[in-house]
């Protein structure tokens, strides 16, 4: 297997800590339509799938209304509730300085992706962002990962996908790239291990050892 030269990251829950923003956005939206019905633990399963999928599972007839309310609240509260995970900035900077090709592959809309990257000052490191509005089929389909590889002029056998959710692991596997789950996933490390990632990162800095030592 080829040496890794390309590193693709999910955004939410992987590079930046958006957990509280996502949870509060879901609670605000769902409890507007169904007062006092949803608690924190009820919305955790919605973290990972697309918003469309999540709201369709609640009530397909209200999905468009819920999407509008969620995105409005999410954008309004973004900068207060979002922060980067420990070690992310330093690790990503080191990867870029070492010549690795870097991309974001996410199920977020591109305008919110840009907002999060700028807020955490990570925007300078990524040449390619593939958001949900750039593809027909989101992760776990291979399309977003393959699109990022094409834009970076990279091959699957020399790339790795990093994420906090099984959609990231399965999307990477479906595209033929190596995969790594992050132990700080809101769903827990044990959840990710069920999907057989090639690696589990206990800290983002672990990634440096993997890519620098990986010769196949």
- What is the assigned CATH class of domain 6-17+83-213? alpha beta
Residue 176 and residue 123: Cα distance in Å, rounded? 26
Cβ-count burial of 202 within 10 angstroms (0-12 exposed, 13-18 middle, 19+ buried)?
Answer: exposed
Rounded to the nearest integer, the mean pLDDT of the chain is 94
Q: In the numeric block, which tokens belong to residue 112?
A: 């919110």
pLDDT in tens, 109-163: 999 999 999 999 999 999 899 999 999 999 999 999 999 999 999 999 999 999 9
196 vs 188, residue with greater confidence? 196
| pLDDT (0 to 100) of residue 215 | 45
75-99: average pLDDT: 95
How far is residue 156 from each of residues 7, 85, 112, 171, 208, measured CA to CA in Å?
Answer: 10, 27, 27, 12, 19
Instruction: Please enumerate in sequence order all residues whose Cβ is within 8 A of that of 28, keeping only pairs 6 or more positions apart, or say none.
Output: 69, 70, 73
Residue 201 and residue 211: Cα distance in Å, rounded? 12
- Is 10 one of the catalytic residues? yes
Domain ranges in the chain are 6-17+83-213, 19-81
6 and 101 in contact (C-beta within 8 Å)? yes
Of the listed 10, 12, 17, 168, which one is catalytic?
A: 10
CATH code assigned to 19-81:
1.10.150
How much is the pTM?
0.89
């Amino acid at each position: 297997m080829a040496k890794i030269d390309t590193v693709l990251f999910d955004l939410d829950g992987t590079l930046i800590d958006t957990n509280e923003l996502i949870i509060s956005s879901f609670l605000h939206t769902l409890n507007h339509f169904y007062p006092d019905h949803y608690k924190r633990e009820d919305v955790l399963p919605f973290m990972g799938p697309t918003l469309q999928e999540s709201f369709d599972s609640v009530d397909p007839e209200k999905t468009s209304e819920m999407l509008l309310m969620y995105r409005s609240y999410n954008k309004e509260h973004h900068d207060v509730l979002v922060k980067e995970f420990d070690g992310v900035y330093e690790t990503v900077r080191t990867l870029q300085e070492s010549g690795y090709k870097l991309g974001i592959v996410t199920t977020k809309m591109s305008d919110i992706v840009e907002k999060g990257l700028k807020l955490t000052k990570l925007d300078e490191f990524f040449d390619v962002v593939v958001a949900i509005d750039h593809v027909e089929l989101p992760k776990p389909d291979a399309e977003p990962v393959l699109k990022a590889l094409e834009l970076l002029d990279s091959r699957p056998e020399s790339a790795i996908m990093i994420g906090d959710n099984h959609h990231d692991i399965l999307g990477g596997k479906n595209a033929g790239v190596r995969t790594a789950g992050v132990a700080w996933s809101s769903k827990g490390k044990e959840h990710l291990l069920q999907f057989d990632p090639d690696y589990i990162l206990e800290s983002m800095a672990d990634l440096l050892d993997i890519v620098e030592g990986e010769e196949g």
